[in-house]
Structure 1
């Protein structure tokens, strides 16, 4: 049976919760992730706030980094048990805004889940659709940050067609899996060794 995107969103949120449930308290509170300033609990705090865009992000306009810091600081005041209780409700009942923007929501979620898994050196099988959402979200983030999507010709090695806006003449090619390309586009340079630059 094929899941709808909304079902995929709920399923990926539950997978994230399963990952977090396995972490000892110290790792949950202070463990290393690919988001250098955030522990696993901070990533969860950020993701929970995405369900309340009007209250948590719109007041900050284009200053998303400031909004993120504010939401993470708020989540840090909650004990783990309360934060995880909120996460279970968040997984079961995504907000209307998250459901309407499900492609973006899923991509952000999948990238941040990999931030935790990769940062802690864990291994986890991803559902087959997750790398595609990571790639799409990475491309959108790249347009706002590093512009790698414009400066390179991107080719997936796991069956996705060539990606990217028309690059500059003689732009270098970057080849890799959808996951690695998406994480790299999103600024996670630790995946660079998984890519082939020509």
Structure 2
């Protein structure tokens, strides 16, 4: 997928997420997301932080988290952003950075795509809401997620199964098969197998043990 098309999907998903957040009650903003230890507000602040973190912000971020792992740094930074933000300021950030093409240094354009697609699910699924991903965008994000599986805890599943999407031309891996909508396979690739739905195949046994 061309970079311009990727950004178009990112911008569309940011707008959709902003609409979701606008309709939530104050209580829902403080509800738990699918990310352990993160509230809906924490996740919302994290997603729109991508265009706000540049080289100027990196030294302080590294200094605050010196000696910690990458995942520990992300957890601490997300909690810090969530605590220092309000519902109003977060929604204002979505309006301000709606069409931004800035991203965190050293990352590709696919990281913000993965973040907005999957974190939207992290917010809506615990609240009993639904947001369907664009299949082609989810397929591109799933390919990137597979290369970063070591960060999301899904490496064993990604390297040991054959994933087959039922709604887009996408087949990856080898081994026992897992079939289903590409958005659910993306959730698996991002370490969220426990909440993935509509999946079939003999690879589900491996998912159950993951």
TM-score between both structures, scaled by the size of structure 2: 0.77
Matched, 1:73 2:79: yes
Q: Which residue of structure 1 lines up, in the alignment, with residue 137 of structure 2?
A: 130
Give per-residue Cα distances to partners, 1:66-121, cap 9 Å, x unaligned. Answer: 222232232212222112212221223231558x8222221221011111122211
d(CA) in 2 for partners of 1:46, 1:92: 16
Q: Which has the higher helix share?
A: 1
Q: 1:93 pairs with 97, 100, 118, which one?
A: 100
2:65 counterpart of 1:46: no
Give the number of aligned pairs: 190
CA distance in 1, matches of 2:100, 2:78: 21
Q: Aligned residue for 1:183?
A: 187
The counterpart of 2:170, out of the listed 150, 154, 161, is 161
- CA gap 1:94/1:152 in 2 versus in 1, 3 angstroms: same
Question: Would the alpha carbon gap of residues 78 and 160 (structure 1) be closer, same or farther in structure 2, given more than 3 Å must change?
Answer: same
Tell me by how many angstroms 1:187 deviates: 1.1
Secondary structure of the residue aligned to 1:154 is strand
- Whether the 8 Å CA contact 2:162–2:176 is kept in 1: the answer is yes
Q: Which runs of 5+ in 2 are unaligned?
A: 203-210
Instruction: Calculate the aligned-residue CA RMSD, in Å.
Output: 2.7
- SS of residue in 1 equivalent to 2:35: coil
The secondary structure found in structure 2 opposite 1:6 is: helix
Q: Does 1:110 align with 2:117?
A: yes
Provide structure 1 residue ranges, at least 5 long, that are not aligned to the other structure: none
| TM-score scaled by length of structure 1 | 0.81
CA deviation after TM superposition for structure 1 residue 18, in Å? 0.7
The offset of 1:53, in angstroms, is: 5.1
SS at 2:97 equivalent: helix
